């Protein structure tokens, strides 16, 4: 009986590990304070963190510009991207396909809007004429 339970446990752990290696879940994070606005009016913003990474996703569900509902920020690569492989999945969790983790840089000429991206020591700000996103490390901001 013990061998069957151990075999079953190993199979379950293997399946979960395989799933996490391909479909990377995004978890709600409070590491940074998120400020988002559309044409000067604040809109709801949520910070999600890619598991096993320093990549953060700013989710703005009320954003009227659909292609900018998510912005991805990587501090190690000092990049701000419009992600391409993002999907909604189980129980309302968002996930990223491991082979599509990158996206189109906000500073790329393929993007129609002109973006300004500024990395500071404790955060990042991204803005164009109608949208503004900023995240600041919580240690510097009272909760």
Q: What is the 3-state secondary structure (H, E, C) of 35-83?
A: EEEECCEECCCEEEEECCCCEEEEECCCCCCHHHCEEEEECCCCEEEEE
Numbers of helices and strands, H then E, in the chain:
1, 13
| Ranges of each domain in the chain | 24-140
pTM: 0.77
Strand 86-88 vs strand 79-83: parallel, antiparallel, or unpaired? unpaired
Q: Give the whole-angstrom CA distance, residue 98 versus residue 85.
A: 8
Q: Return the pLDDT at 141.
A: 47
Q: Return the pLDDT at 19.
A: 59
pLDDT mean by block of 10 residues, the chain; 143 residues = 84 71 76 91 90 84 86 88 76 67 75 85 90 85 49
Q: Give the whole-angstrom CA distance, residue 3 versus residue 140.
A: 52
Distance, first Cα to last Cα, the chain: 51
Q: Give the whole-angstrom CA distance, residue 3 versus residue 28.
A: 38
């Amino acid at each position: 009986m013990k061998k069957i339970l151990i075999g079953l446990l190993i199979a379950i752990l293997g399946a979960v590990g395989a799933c996490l290696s391909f479909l990377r879940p995004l978890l709600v994070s409070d590491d940074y304070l998120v400020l988002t606005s559309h044409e000067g009016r604040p809109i709801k913003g949520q910070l999600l963190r890619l598991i096993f990474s320093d990549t953060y996703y700013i989710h703005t569900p009320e954003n009227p510009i659909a292609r900018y509902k998510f912005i991805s920020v990587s501090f190690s690569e000092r990049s701000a991207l419009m992600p391409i492989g993002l999907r909604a999945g189980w129980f309302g969790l968002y996930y990223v396909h491991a082979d599509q983790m990158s996206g189109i840089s906000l500073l790329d000429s393929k993007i129609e809007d002109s973006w300004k991206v500024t990395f500071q020591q404790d955060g990042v700000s991204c803005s164009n004429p109608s949208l503004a996103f900023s995240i600041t490390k919580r240690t510097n901001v009272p909760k």
